[in-house]
Amino acid sequence: MKKCFILGVVVILASCGREKSIRIKGEFSGAGGDMIYLQKLGTDKLSTTSDSVKLDAKGHFSVKYRIDHPTFYSLAANGKSITLLLYPKDQITITGDVRRLPLTYQVQGNDASEEIRQLSRYMEHTISVRDSLNGMLQQFIDNRNFVNIQRQFEWNFLREVDSLRAYNIRFINTHPGSPAVIYALYQQIEPNVYLFNREGDLKYFQKADSVFHKKYPKMPHVKMLHANTLQWTETDRLNKLNKMLYMLGRDAPEIALPSPSGKIEKLSAHKGKYVLLDFWASWSAPSRTENTNLVEIYEKYSNRGFDIFQVSLDKTKSAWEKAIREDKLLAWTHVCDLKFWDSEAVKEYGIETVPANFLIDNEGTIIAKGLSGDALDKKLSEIFAQAE
């Protein structure tokens, strides 16, 4: 689905259009007389044209040219490259050691490129950890427990990846107006292995697209982001629809989890009643709002064969129990394993957001999904009217 940053049409290193001209000055140690290459980063096609500028004896260079909107560029020297995000009228200075360019360069006069430097630095660290772990793993290749050792090394690397993801997510949330967010979204751990390609990551692309498609509609990478987001959104919609259709008409998978008292409660124990299996959490404002509706629904239909089985995605028992008391939910069954999104029940039912619910008939079959408020009231009214 996603496209990576690919070197595209190379920028002409000349001045044209003073009102939107940018100037890049640089000083690279260890690079007297070397060539540098400044190239515009495209989204899908490579260009055969190229241009370059030679560093003077002290490693200095200066280029000036025109751009019309924020654009990503690659600056390469000595086989190493860095990514810049340039705006019209930028006046920036780049310094560093050309022999270790990605790890040593600094950018002044351009906040977006400095943000990209920080993002790339964290990625460089993650890749370095991966390479180091792979190197150490080779020492155990003849060990009888190699498979277990390999799994531990893989687990250590996955923790590094999770840390990198957490860093990028914080960046995305704290820099909503910077196109550097696009760079954060499309980072790759290795070729074609994207950092953000998990179930649930679509929301980060949608958030960015909602900002940049209006703000920078002509920017190539914004167009790419918009097209990818539309495609992923449609794919996600179809997957959810298929999952819902797959679940409807099937027996509800068993859930057996502890209640607040520690007793294991089973969903199947409620067979014989119409049960609303509801996934919620104390930290979810929409869940807490829907709880008010559930109290009213329960009072209206509980004496007609209706029950509620709530599964919480809380991480702490105290927060879970406090919310049950505050929302006056003591009349029905509550369970939670305090595993947050890693709960087996969440995985079994394909829950991606809360609140979420399934209506199960008195035979244990799922007959509806995602009913709330008036829609749930209407469905139950129809069910019990037919039963009378």
Q: Convert 257-289 into a string of H (helix), E (strand) and C (coil).
A: EECCCCCEEEHHHHCCCEEEEEEECCCCHHHHH
pLDDT tens-digit profile of 190-248? 888 899 988 789 999 999 999 999 999 999 999 999 999 999 999 888 877 776 667 78
Q: Provide the pLDDT for residue 352.
A: 80
CA distances from 54 to 8, 31, 167 (A): 21, 10, 37
* Residue 98 token pair: 């050309």
- Burial class from Cβ neighbours inside 10 Å (0-12, 13-18, 19+) for residue 16 reads exposed
Do 309 and 280 form a contact (C-beta atoms < 8 A)? no
Asked which of 39-48, 259-268, 328-337 is least confident by mean pLDDT, the reply is 39-48
Looking only at the bridges linking them, the beta strands covering 306-312 and 274-280 are parallel
pLDDT exceeds cutoff 50 at 317: yes
Q: What are phi and psi of 71, to 5 degrees?
A: -145, 145
Q: Provide the pLDDT for residue 387.
A: 66
Domains of the chain: 6-109 (2.60.40.1120), 121-238 (no CATH), 256-387 (3.40.30.10)
What integer is the mean pLDDT of 64-88? 88
Q: Which residue has the tokens 């595993």?
A: 339
Q: Provide the pLDDT for residue 58.
A: 86
Strand partners, 27: 60, 95
Q: Provide the pLDDT for residue 196.
A: 93
Structure pTM? Answer: 0.62
Q: 93 falls in which pLDDT band (50, 70, 90)?
A: very high
% residues pLDDT > 70 (the chain)? 91
pLDDT exceeds cutoff 70 at 330: yes
What integer is the mean pLDDT of 267-280? 96
pLDDT exceeds cutoff 60 at 49: no
Q: Provide the pLDDT for residue 109.
A: 92
pLDDT tens-digit profile of 131-182? 999 999 999 988 888 888 888 888 889 889 999 999 999 999 999 999 999 9
Asked which of 262-266, 345-349, 356-360 is least confident by mean pLDDT, the reply is 345-349
Q: 39 falls in which pLDDT band (50, 70, 90)?
A: confident
Q: Which residue has the tokens 């954060």?
A: 184
> Mean of the per-residue pLDDT values for the chain?
87
pLDDT exceeds cutoff 60 at 362: yes
DSSP string, 277-322: EEEE-TT-HHHHHHHHHHHHHHHHHGGGTEEEEEEE--S-HHHHHH
Q: Provide the pLDDT for residue 17.
A: 41
Q: What are phi and psi of 359, to 5 degrees?
A: -100, 125
Q: Write 85-89 long-range contacts (CB < 8 A, 24+).
A: 85/110, 85/112, 85/113, 85/115, 85/116, 85/179, 85/180, 85/183, 86/22, 86/24, 86/110, 86/112, 86/113, 87/22, 87/112, 88/20, 88/21, 88/22, 89/19, 89/20, 89/21, 89/22
pLDDT tens-digit profile of 10-22? 333 433 444 577 8
Q: 388 falls in which pLDDT band (50, 70, 90)?
A: low
pLDDT tens-digit profile of 248-258? 888 999 999 99
What integer is the mean pLDDT of 61-90? 88
Report the sign of the C-alpha dihedral through residues 191, 192, 193, 194, in that order. Answer: positive
